[in-house]
């Protein structure tokens, strides 16, 4: 550590404090995201295998740890094929546009107090805006491929983004009301009681809407192989396909980090270093995503759309109204009585609304 401090004191003056801060945290974010993606790919394969009573990857490296790297090398060696009728420039640009926002989100994720690329006072607003840009890259991929299945998958993604963004933002608004700030670092500092207890319904709404936004099962209708081959990336191969595969897991890492920051206290915790708490909580949220993927079957597109408009959106509005009333009664501190009240409300409201809600679960004749 002393060597690092001495090195920092010898920084050339022309670099400046801002540029050095930008360089260091950009390298940290890139290394963190790529290493977490590789770890999550292995983790998901092994956990899903255990849940499905099979072995999973266990041949390449000890315990199959190098399987993801072997897959990456294999994909890089494959031929890059572009359809004759594709818009070649947009076809090339789409994976880059889709991947960039997943990295940009981590610019405001705090790894400990003040340890972030930028501690914006509107950090969660920045996250909401940047997270939606990935859908632009996915739509570019579908539109530029000159393939009907690809464009259907791309349009499904746009429909999901527009629909599920609303309950997600309303769930965020509940957190902002309780924390009194849009800064992610300040939201973490406010969580003497983790917001998953204060906002249990908000956590559920945000988690489900987030899974739909990043196309995690059971909401992965934009690449439903039983309906539209591989969806938006049907006409991609080689390195470009690998980029979209990377986007899927980078978004999962980003969404898990956001949820851990908003609802699980972020870097706060006893005994362990703050940055390690971020990794542990992010991994715990990702495990929940894997559990849902392994357990739940894929929904139909009409069920997916009905679920957000008929179930998530009304519950998000009710949750925001209840939170606003509670803040009027408890404007300074969050008492444990508020935790008990919100858990009881969520426990009653979810099954009650499930009885009322119908999203086209009946058989569809074709």
Phi-psi region of 360 (alpha: psi -120 to 50; beta: other; left: phi over 0): left
Question: Phi and psi at residue 284, in whole multiples of 5°?
Answer: -65, -40
Residue 98 maps to a domain: yes
The CA-based diameter of the chain, rounded to the nearest angstrom, is 72
Residue 156 maps to a domain: yes
Q: Which two tokens stand for residue 56?
A: 């999973």
* Sign, CA torsion 176/182/184/187: negative
**Whole-number Å distance between alpha carbons of 4 and 13:** 17
Q: How does pLDDT run across 28-66, given as a tens digit for each residue?
A: 888 888 888 888 888 888 888 888 888 878 888 788 888
Residue 344 maps to a domain: yes
Which domain, by its residues, includes 137?
Answer: 82-356
Question: Phi and psi at residue 358, in whole multiples of 5°?
Answer: -135, 135
Burial grade of 351 (CB within 10 A; 0-12, 13-18, 19 or more): exposed
How many domains, the chain? 1
Mean pLDDT, the chain, whole residue set: 80
Residue 147 maps to a domain: yes
Residue 68 maps to a domain: no
Mean pLDDT in residue range 214-238:
72
Q: Can you give the pLDDT at residue 259?
A: 92
Residue 67 maps to a domain: no
Residue 2 maps to a domain: no
Please give the residue that has the higher pLDDT: either 296 or 196.
196
Please calculate the CA angle 230-32-181 and round it to the nearest 5 degrees: 95
pLDDT higher than 70, residue 251: yes
DSSP state of 279: H
pLDDT band at 206 (very low <50, low <70, confident <90, very high): very high
Q: How does pLDDT run across 104-114, given as a tens digit for each residue?
A: 888 888 887 77
Alpha helices in the chain (DSSP H): 2-9, 16-51, 67-76, 88-104, 123-131, 134-144, 148-179, 184-190, 195-198, 200-213, 225-228, 238-263, 274-295, 301-307, 313-329, 336-356
Q: Which two tokens stand for residue 188?
A: 């973490």
Radius of gyration of the chain measured on its C-alpha atoms: 22
154 and 143 Cβ atoms separated by less than 8 Å = yes
Residue 54 maps to a domain: no
98 and 130 Cβ atoms separated by less than 8 Å = no
Question: In sequence order, which residues have a C-beta less than 8 Å from that of residue 167 and are 6 or more positions away?
Answer: 205, 209, 308, 312, 313, 315, 316
Q: Can you give the pLDDT at residue 5?
A: 40
303 and 359 Cβ atoms separated by less than 8 Å = yes
């Amino acid at each position: 550590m002393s060597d690092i401090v001495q090195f920092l004191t010898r920084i050339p003056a022309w670099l400046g404090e801002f540029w050095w801060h930008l360089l260091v945290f950009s390298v940290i974010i890139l290394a963190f995201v790529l290493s977490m993606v590789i770890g999550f790919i292995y983790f998901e394969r092994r956990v899903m295998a255990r849940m499905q009573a099979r072995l999973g990857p266990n041949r390449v490296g000890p315990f199959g740890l190098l399987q993801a790297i072997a897959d990456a090398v294999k994909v890089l060696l494959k031929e890059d094929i572009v359809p004759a009728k594709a818009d070649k420039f947009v076809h090339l640009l789409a994976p880059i546009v889709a991947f960039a926002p997943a990295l940009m989100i981590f610019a405001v994720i705090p790894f400990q107090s003040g340890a972030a690329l930028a501690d914006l006072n509107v950090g969660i607003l920045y996250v909401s805006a940047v997270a939606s840009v990935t859908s632009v890259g996915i739509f570019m991929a579908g539109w530029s491929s000159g393939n009907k299945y690809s464009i259907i998958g791309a349009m499904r993604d746009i429909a999901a983004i527009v629909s599920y963004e609303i309950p997600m933002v309303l769930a965020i608004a509940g957190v902002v009301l309780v924390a009194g700030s849009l800064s992610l670092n300040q939201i973490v500092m406010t969580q003497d009681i983790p917001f998953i207890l204060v906002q249990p319904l908000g956590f559920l709404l945000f988690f489900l809407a987030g899974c739909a936004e990043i196309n995690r099962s059971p909401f992965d209708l934009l690449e439903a192989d039983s309906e539209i081959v591989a969806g938006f990336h049907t006409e991609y191969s080689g390195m470009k396909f690998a980029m979209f595969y990377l986007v899927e897991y980078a978004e999962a890492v980003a969404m898990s980090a956001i949820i851990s920051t908003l609802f699980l206290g972020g870097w706060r915790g006893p005994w362990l270093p703050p940055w390690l708490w971020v990794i542990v909580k992010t991994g715990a949220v990702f495990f929940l995503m894997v559990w849902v993927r392994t357990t739940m079957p894929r929904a139909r597109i009409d069920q997916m759309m009905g679920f957000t408009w008929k179930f998530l959106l009304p519950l998000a509005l009710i949750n925001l109204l209840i939170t606003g009333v509670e803040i009027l009664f408890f404007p300074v501190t969050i008492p444990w009585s508020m935790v008990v009240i919100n858990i009881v409300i969520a426990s009653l409201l979810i099954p009650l609304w499930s009885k009322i809600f119908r999203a086209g679960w009946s058989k569809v004749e074709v």
